[in-house]
Amino acid sequence: MPFGAPMGVVFSRSGRSRNGRHACSGQLRMANPGGAGQSMGRKLRYPGFPWRKGDFWINKERYFQDRYSMNFGIRNKVALVAAASRGLGYATAMELAREGAQVAVCGRDEQRIHRAAAELSASTGGRILPVVADVEKAQDCEYFIAQAAETLGSVDILVTNAGGPPAGFFEDIDDESWALGFERTMMSAIRLIRAALPHMREK
């Protein structure tokens, strides 16, 4: 194969590529497998794009998600994700819900966490429980775990997450900022685990 030759997967309505192979098997082939004298500059064909009549209409993201995603065995498990109104927590909750878990999410902004839960539910079709809680507060950590366990029935998975310390150069960060960072990241995780552990041990 020439160096830099374009590769692609062609999906046809019949389930076979033009060279007779099963295109839906996920095999890769050159987008232009022709012999000498033929241009290598043809467009790549990817699922989801009807390049020619008869190409298989398919949702590319959903196809590869269903075909190649790992099965973590967490369908119907109860997963809790802290600070999940946006960012890493939101993305984690999204993937857990896609795997079939029931997900409880918390955030300190009531409007934002409810909006995030609605978006997660709409995107995944899963059950999402929003809880207003600030993980920097010990009582809120306990409240989040208790609400999730009571509403969803148990605690199987806990994802500790929190905003980090204020950004800055090392020499500019004072003791108060270090203490705040420790409180946000370390102590929030300890408190969440402490509250969730009894529910996990019950199982």
Amino acid 52: pLDDT: 46
How many helices and strands (H and E) does the chain possess?
Answer: 6, 6
pLDDT at 53 over 50: no
Q: What are phi and psi of 177, to 5 degrees?
A: -70, -40
Pairing of strands 128-132, 78-81: unpaired
Best CA proximity match to 150, nearest among 193, 196, 191? 196
Indicate the pLDDT class of residue 121, thresholds 50, 70 and 90.
very high
Whether the model clears a pTM of 0.95, i.e. scores above it, the answer is no
Amino acid 23: pLDDT: 44
Q: Which domains does the chain have, with CATH numbers?
A: 1-69 (no CATH), 78-201 (3.40.50.720)
- What average pLDDT does the segment 170-176 reach? 91
Indicate the pLDDT class of residue 203, thresholds 50, 70 and 90.
confident
Pairing of strands 128-132, 102-107: parallel
Amino acid 193: pLDDT: 98
Contact 43/31 with Cβ under 8 angstroms? yes
Looking at every residue in the chain, the average pLDDT score rounds to 78
Contact 8/28 with Cβ under 8 angstroms? yes
Sign of CA dihedral 190, 192, 197, 198: positive
Tokens representing 86 are 């946006």
Kindly state the DSSP code that residue 42 receives in the 8-state scheme: P
Residue % of the chain over a pLDDT of 70: 66
Indicate the pLDDT class of residue 33, thresholds 50, 70 and 90.
very low
pLDDT at 65 over 70: no
183 or 33: whose pLDDT is higher?
183
pLDDT at 4 over 90: no
**If you write DSSP's letter for every residue of 142-194 in order, what string do you get?**
HHHHHHHHHHHS---EEE-----PPP--GGG--HHHHHHHHIIIIIHHHHHHH
